[in-house]
Structure 1
């Protein structure tokens, strides 16, 4: 029978303003989880978004390097869609 290994966790110390600590504690209490769970969830979301953004930037640079630009008409249509 295989036993599941618990993921290795590390301690990380950060400094935050007291007001943020209070907000964090209120959120943790409302969610009925500990402070670490709230921070981990927030960090997961932040890292996923940053990774997504970096990948989109890399793809945009790749397209630019390959000369794959939108036409003037395509740009006008996008601006018009947003009322600009």
Structure 2
């Protein structure tokens, strides 16, 4: 049985959208939800956060040298 036989069209479209914007396959997204409890909404929120972070960096809204030094001083170098 194909998973599309048991998943609503809306849910299937959302899974496809997450797969298209990530490096995960449909099966990996479904397995991640079942094995690790990461819901589709979690994946969508995570991708949106990553995209917003990239947009902020593209606009130059990134940590200043002083902010970066403070974090590295607190947690050590990367």
Select the structure of larger CA radius of gyration: 1
TM-score > 0.5, shorter chain as reference: no
Going by fraction, where is helix more abundant, 1 or 2?
Answer: 2
TM-score range, shorter chain: 0.3 to 0.5
Instruction: Tell me the TM-score normalised to structure 2 length.
Output: 0.45
Instruction: Tell me the TM-score normalised to structure 1 length.
Output: 0.42
